[in-house]
Amino acid sequence: MSSKRTLVIDGNNMSARFANAYVLTTSNGVLSGVVYGILYFIRRFLKRKTPYQYHRIIYAFDSPKVVEFRRELYPEYKSQREQQRKKRKSLENFYYSYLVQTETLKRVLPKLNIIPLILPGYEADDAVYKIIKALPDEEFVIYSNDKDFHQMISKRVVVAKPHHKLPKENYIDKKPKYFLIQRALQGDASDNIKGVPQIGEKRAQQIVDEVGEKKLSLFLQNIHKCPKYHERLEEHKGVIRRNYRLMSLSYAYKTYTSGIKGIYAVSYTHLT
């Protein structure tokens, strides 16, 4: 495989990280830590020696107005974030500043030959998944510590997971064997997705190893292979199916996003 790849930066993930790291303001008192942090990071990253060379950079954003198909599946999806902002004025102010700086980034990045990527109505990982499907001959590195991107790992997609101290990262090129089913069992607290009761990461790993099925339908048919948790899994099959659909980028693509033609600030002609 070629060492030249497209670098995709998970914009929401990185922007939130720098919003906490840099509390900076302009001479007019406007918060600018996110913009400074992102531009500083990209400059430093491209100067360092990494396993890959990049001929294109894409910066993926969540759409400002997200289609509620995940909340139709699960009304509590990410609901804790809005509740926290309403309870704490400081968080509400922080979130507003973050949105303002995000809009600034959308204007600044194209001037640096960095492509802002937004799929109207959807989250950043949905947009990245769609671009990867649309460009089957392209190779990618996705820069993010969001585990949702691990389901995209393949021979042509690598995830660069940043350390808690930049600038360092681990390059993950092998997808966990039963990744999505394990995630569906344990849930995801960051998105307020509740898993099977009393099943955390270690127990979920134990269960998927014992059942030994990658496909959800076969997994649910064979949960008897895990007698210790069989009754609990049987009782919560609906939760497992729901969580799988919530987390599966392939499901979102096949069901909702595959037919969408327009991508704000990006057209496929820019990428080929």
Residue 195: strand pairing partners: none
pLDDT of residue 85: 57
What does the pLDDT read at residue 90? 54
Split at pLDDT 50, 70, 90, the class of 47 is confident
35 within 8 A of 101, measured Cβ to Cβ? yes
How far apart CA 181 and CA 150 sit, in angstroms, is 13
Confidence of residue 164 (pLDDT cuts 50, 70, 90): low
Q: How confident is the model at residue 178 (pLDDT cuts 50, 70, 90)?
A: very high
Predicted pLDDT at 162: 83
Closest C-alpha to 109, from 39, 7, 30: 39
Q: Is 62 helix (H, G, I), strand (E, B) or coil?
A: coil
pLDDT digits (tens, 9 = 90+) for 93-135: 666 777 788 888 888 999 999 999 988 888 899 999 999 998 8
Confidence at residue 246, expressed as pLDDT on a 0 to 100 scale? 94
Of 31, 145, 40, nearest to 95 (Cα)? Answer: 31
Residue 179 DSSP SS3: helix
**Two tokens, residue 228:** 């210790």
Dihedral, 136, 139, 144, 146 alpha carbons, nearest 10: 40
Residue 253 DSSP label: I
Q: How confident is the model at residue 88 (pLDDT cuts 50, 70, 90)?
A: low
User: Contact at 8 Å (CB) between 7 and 55?
Assistant: no
CB atoms within 10 A of CB 241: 15
Measured between alpha carbons, how far is 62 from 117 in angstroms, rounded to an integer?
9
**pLDDT band at 194; cut points 50, 70, 90:** very high
Would you tell me how many other CB atoms lie within 10 Å of the CB of residue 85? 16
DSSP annotation string for 127-173: HHHHHHHH-TT--EEEE---GGGGGG-BTTEEEEEEPSSSS-EEEE-
Residue 191: name the closest of 64, 59, 82, 67 by CA. Answer: 82
- φ/ψ region of 270 (left if φ > 0, alpha if ψ in -120 to 50, else beta) reads alpha
pLDDT category at 64 given cuts 50, 70, 90 is confident
The bridge status of strand 169-172 relative to strand 157-162 is: antiparallel
What average pLDDT does this structure show over 83-101?
64
The position carrying tokens 């990245």 is 128
Residue 260 contacts residue 131 (beta carbons within 8 Å): no
CB 129 within 8 Å of CB 252:
yes
Asked whether the predicted pLDDT for residue 270 surpasses 70, the reply is: no
Of residues 105 and 234, the one with the higher pLDDT is: 234
